[in-house]
A and B are shown apart, each in its own frame.
Chain A
Amino acid sequence: GDSVTQMEGPVTLSEEAFLTINCTYTATGYPSLFWYVQYPGEGLQLLLKATKADDKGSNKGFEATYRKETTSFHLEKGSVQVSDSAVYFCALKTGGGNKLTFGTGTQLKVEL
């Protein structure tokens, strides 16, 4: 079945550091890929998405490129802020339905 593997956290960075959170997937067919963010005490929010190979999703300074050859969708940001502290979930969707398969989440802590 479909699955998503994320790097384990927590990831602790200093403000303005470069961020990479790795995500790889296993799926039948051609999935759509997503990054969701969960701020403390809140529900998940869509951060960015990519629906086909080589697409780059971007939002709020975050980027991720859909790499079919390596089945990856790594999240990057050039300069993190304290306000980026949250849990980040990689997810995929296959077929015509709306069921999402989530990774286990990666907690990011950004310190001054």
Chain B
Amino acid sequence: NAGVTQTPKFQVLKTGQSMTLQCAQDMNHEYMSWYRQDPGMGLRLIHYSVGAGITDQGEVPNGYNVSRSTTEDFPLRLLSAAPSQTSVYFCASVRDRSHEQYFGPGTRLTVT
């Protein structure tokens, strides 16, 4: 089991560029989510998905898109990067009924 994997680990973008952060899990978890982590603010939920084909917005969705075409993959797209999106991004998946969320190692994104 690889668990939750994220790529890339580090990324630098210029303002206005777009990119996709990849997230995959091999645990057959239905629920997946994306968080951003900023100093002094903990983790904030961006988008989540309760299963393939179903996504919904979290606390801070603006500037991000997601899709869930398979159970395994949950990519996060930045449409037009802004310096305010400089952050560490974590993907997580959860095993129903156990309440334990499994987190990926994170992607550190810098937008200049």
A100-B45, A102-B43 known; A43 vs B105 contact (CB < 8 Å): yes
Contacts of B33 in A (CB 8 A): 98-99
Q: In the complex, A49 Cα to B95 Cα: how many Å?
A: 15
Partner of A44, one of B45, B99, B103: B103
Contacts of A102 in B (CB 8 A): 35, 42-44
**Which residue of chain B has the shortest Cβ distance to A34 in the bound complex?**
B99
Partner of B106, one of A43, A45, A49: A43
Contacts of B105 in A (CB 8 A): 41-43
Partner of A103, one of B42, B100, B106: B42
Interface of B is mostly: strand
Total count of chain A residues near the partner, CB < 8 A: 22
Does A46 have its Cβ within 8 Å of any Cβ on chain B? Answer: yes
A49 touches B42 (CB 8 A): no
Q: In the complex, A45 Cα to B101 Cα: how many Å?
A: 8
Partner of B99, one of A32, A42, A104, A105: A32
Q: In the complex, A99 Cα to B50 Cα: how many Å?
A: 10
Does B41 have its Cβ within 8 Å of any Cβ on chain A? Answer: yes
Does B40 have its Cβ within 8 Å of any Cβ on chain A? Answer: yes
- Residues of chain B whose beta carbon lies under 8 Å from any beta carbon of chain A: 4, 31, 33, 35, 40-45, 48, 50, 58, 90, 92, 94, 96, 99-101, 103-106
Which are the 10 A-B pairs with shortest beta-carbon distances?
A43-B103, A102-B42, A104-B42, A44-B103, A102-B43, A98-B31, A98-B94, A46-B100, A43-B105, A43-B104
- Residues of chain A whose beta carbon lies under 8 Å from any beta carbon of chain B: 4, 32, 34, 36, 41-46, 49, 51, 89, 93, 97-100, 102-105
